[in-house]
Amino acid sequence: MTFKTLDDLESGQRVLVRLDLNSPVEDGEVQDNRRFDRHATTVKELAEDDHKVVLMAHQGRPGDDDFVSLEQHADILAGHIDRDVQFVADTYGDDALDAIRSLEGGDVLLLENTRMVDEELPEADPETKAETEFVQTLKEEFDAYVNDAYSAAHRKHASLVGFPLVLPSYAGRVMESEYEANSSIATREFDGDVTMVVGGTKATDVIGVMNALDEKVDQFLLGGIAGELFLRADGHDVGYDLEGMNLFDEQWEKNEETIRNVLDEKGDQIVLATDLAFEDENNERAEIPVANITEKDTAYLDVGSDTVATYTPYIHDSEAVFVKGALGLFEDERFATGTTGVLEAIADTDCFSVVGGGDTSRAIEMYGMSEDDFSHVSIAGGAYIRALTGESLPAVELLQEN
């Protein structure tokens, strides 16, 4: 690892910490989730080491329903670290500066939503972000900057890429563990088979992962919307929109040639679903073999039980398994079989395993599985994809360089 961590940070300093507490908001109420629990490790360690701890985080984007204040986040985080988290409805104005200067060692303060700062959001070079009033004002109040927001590390926002150029910078515990686990497919050598379970809604993500990792991965097990598009390329009457849908046709139009080429060139590494699940006339789950589909007349919401049975031996025989994206609409219990089936197969296997990609890891908690049964459960979406495909993570690179 090439960046400094909390192990390198001397006690009793004024520390500015970037977290990613972006959470679902339902009827105006911020929902607790694993991000609070994960980041609590970093925040608690800093507070216990007598630092004056000032936290930055974002929530939503301007104009969206979930673009709200972080006041509720402070209360939720306090419950996870078992100590008070102060909040100030300001980011770098006089109110924020007064609150920062009044802190004692061990105190924790959360600043207002960074995306309420005009200079935060537009993507720009780190050097440009470092010169913003936002960064230049806050840098005077701190001895060190800690970035724990791995899941936002692919963004070039001021709070992520500006501060490493003006303050001694360190990786928090989430940043450290996420980087190590998510980079392992590129950096580690595995003696046995490496399997990747690939699903989700974006064909471009799946194609990118396959192209980047074809020499590292022995087999790709497909599902989700992307998997259905590959079935279409394989000659099956699936993978297109029915009335009221907007999931398949546009992606097919943009990616048909690439999907067909990937299937031709990497076909011996690609394992496609053998059956699909749908909602029958009684609103129950029903399954149909892919070979029996002569006309798509219903939405397919999951891979079927036979597909799980087909995928399971690949998983059991692997030394490492990586998961990117869900195989079906697991939020609906009727259509969780594919996603939970492969996760349970991984949990039952003594292999190195990383689960990530958007909300996929949420299925572990929703269906009573234990994170301890997996080597790493990522809370990152876009950054996880970038790590898998070898694309740059600007915030990580800046930690490494500074």
Question: Is 362 part of any known ligand binding site?
Answer: no
Question: Is 359 part of any known ligand binding site?
Answer: yes
Up-side HSE of residue 180: CA atoms within 13 Å toward CB?
A: 14
What is the spatial distance between Cα 333 and Cα 312, in angstroms, rounded to a whole number? 20
What is the spatial distance between Cα 241 and Cα 42, in angstroms, rounded to a whole number? 45
Question: Is 59 part of any known ligand binding site?
Answer: yes
Question: Is 357 part of any known ligand binding site?
Answer: yes
Question: Is 292 part of any known ligand binding site?
Answer: no
By DSSP bridging, strand 285-289 and strand 275-279 are antiparallel
Angle (deg, nearest 10), helices 34-48 and 173-182: 130
Q: Are the beta carbons of 328 and 295 closer than 8 angstroms? A: no
- Residue 362, Ramachandran bin (φ over 0: left; ψ between -120 and 50: alpha; else beta): alpha
Question: Is 227 part of any known ligand binding site?
Answer: no
Question: Is 282 part of any known ligand binding site?
Answer: no
Distances (CA, A) of 245 to 6, 241, 250, 328: 48, 5, 11, 16
Question: Is 61 part of any known ligand binding site?
Answer: yes
What is the spatial distance between Cα 355 and Cα 361, in angstroms, rounded to a whole number? 6
Question: Is 22 part of any known ligand binding site?
Answer: yes
Two tokens, residue 129: 């972000």
Question: Is 13 part of any known ligand binding site?
Answer: no
R_g of the chain, CA atoms, integer Å: 23
Two tokens, residue 113: 């939503």
Residue 149, φ and ψ in degrees, nearest 5 = -95, 65
- Nearest 5°: the CA angle 194, 199, 205 is 90
Reported for 230-233, long-range contacts at CB under 8 A and 24+ positions apart, including other chains, are: 230/206, 230/259, 230/262, 230/263, 230/270, 230/272, 231/272, 231/273, 231/290, 233/259, 233/260, 233/263
Distances (CA, A) of 50 to 11, 14, 134: 6, 9, 26
Question: Is 35 part of any known ligand binding site?
Answer: yes
Residues annotated in a binding site for ATP: 331, 357-360
Residues annotated in a binding site for (2R)-3-phosphoglycerate: 35, 115, 155
Residues annotated in a binding site: 20-22, 35, 58-61, 115, 155, 331, 357-360
Residues annotated in a binding site for substrate: 20-22, 35, 58-61, 115, 155
